[in-house]
Amino acid sequence: MTHPTVPNSGQPPKGCFITGTDTGVGKTVVTGVVGLALKDFGLRVGVMKPIETGTACDNPQHTSDGERLRDLLIPHESLDFISPYRFESSLAPLAAAQWAGTPIDLARITAAFQVMATRYAYLLVEGVGGVMVPLSDKQDVRAMMAQLKLPCLVVGRATLGSVNHTLLTLAALKEYRLKVLAVVVNETQKSRASEKERGQTDSTMQLLRELSGVPVIGPVRYEEELHNNWARGLTTLVSDPSVKELVMMLRKDAQ
């Protein structure tokens, strides 16, 4: 590990924790697109994925979230600070940590975060799975969020079951008094755009706006290019109206 190069101003670190209703909902996509957009505005954006599992994928095309986000936003940064815990096994964090014989210590994550906060003006931190994923016998992802003291975004879907998953996630965050900036509804699947499917999305958006008690942004559109060329797909997605709305909100929060 190298040492911090820029002294901290003494202000609490600014940034945002990107969590979600589940694994695979688009946390990395949202982190990446928001990071690109904020960078375009001249903000010194850093990124972290403190806990990552499944890093030893046999597929040479496979890139971990931490590596992808580093390559996209901060290519010269050390992965040691971006992802203090990288587990090779494709298991849930606690099982992966037990398998590796390396318990997850939140103090190590906080230490890396503090170093990153000296280097970047705004930190985007991607969670792992959902908010109640256990990290140790006593702590789950919410404990990590509380340690980092960042407000969060909750990424969710608009498909069947999403209202329930999103409201349960918000209730779990409330127990820890964690500040939620917004729910971000993301389209991870190509919509066949039938009237019924549009109805499902519209109904999810409306119900979440009525019931969640926080701003609801979206739906962030499905972007096919993400599956051919991830970075190019994100560059295209920056112009999505929902992404623009989200970025405006984060810019205000970053000031």
Ligand X SMILES: Nc1ncnc2c1ncn2[C@@H]1O[C@H](COP(=O)(O)OP(=O)(O)OP(=O)(O)O)[C@@H](O)[C@H]1O
Question: Which residue, 55 or 212, is less far from ligand X as judged by CB?
Answer: 55
Residue 40 near residue 2, CB atoms below 8 Å = no
- Residue 167 binds to ligand X (criterion: CB under 6 A): no
Query: How do strand 152-156 and strand 122-126 relate by DSSP bridges?
Result: unpaired
Question: Which residue, 39 or 221, is less far from ligand X as judged by CB?
Answer: 221
- Residue 140 binds to ligand X (criterion: CB under 6 A): no
Question: Which residue, 8 or 164, is less far from ligand X as judged by CB?
Answer: 164
DSSP-assigned beta bridge partners for residue 217: 184
Residue 23: contacted member of ligand X, Mg ion, none (CB under 5 to 8 Å, by partner type): ligand X
Tracing tokens 């403190």 back to the chain, one arrives at 50
3 state DSSP class of 150: coil
- Residue 27 binds to Mg ion (criterion: CB under 5 A): yes
Give the C-alpha separation, 33 to 102, whole Å: 32
- Residue 93 binds to ligand X (criterion: CB under 6 A): no
We find the least distance from the C-beta atom of residue 245 to ligand X, in angstroms, to be: 15
Residue 131 near residue 152, CB atoms below 8 Å = no
User: In sequence order, which residues have a C-beta less than 8 Å from that of residue 42 and are 6 or more positions away?
Assistant: none
Pick one of 98, 118, 119, 222: the residue that binds ligand X (CB under 6 A): 222
Residue 226: contacted member of ligand X, Mg ion, none (CB under 5 to 8 Å, by partner type): ligand X
Residue 22 near residue 166, CB atoms below 8 Å = no
We find the least distance from the C-beta atom of residue 194 to Mg ion, in angstroms, to be: 29
Catalytic residue among 27, 49, 149, 190: 49
Dihedral sign for Cα 102, 108, 112, 113, please: positive
Contacts with ligand X by CB under 6 A lie at: 20, 23-29, 65, 129, 186-188, 220, 222-223, 226-227
Residues catalogued as catalytic: 49
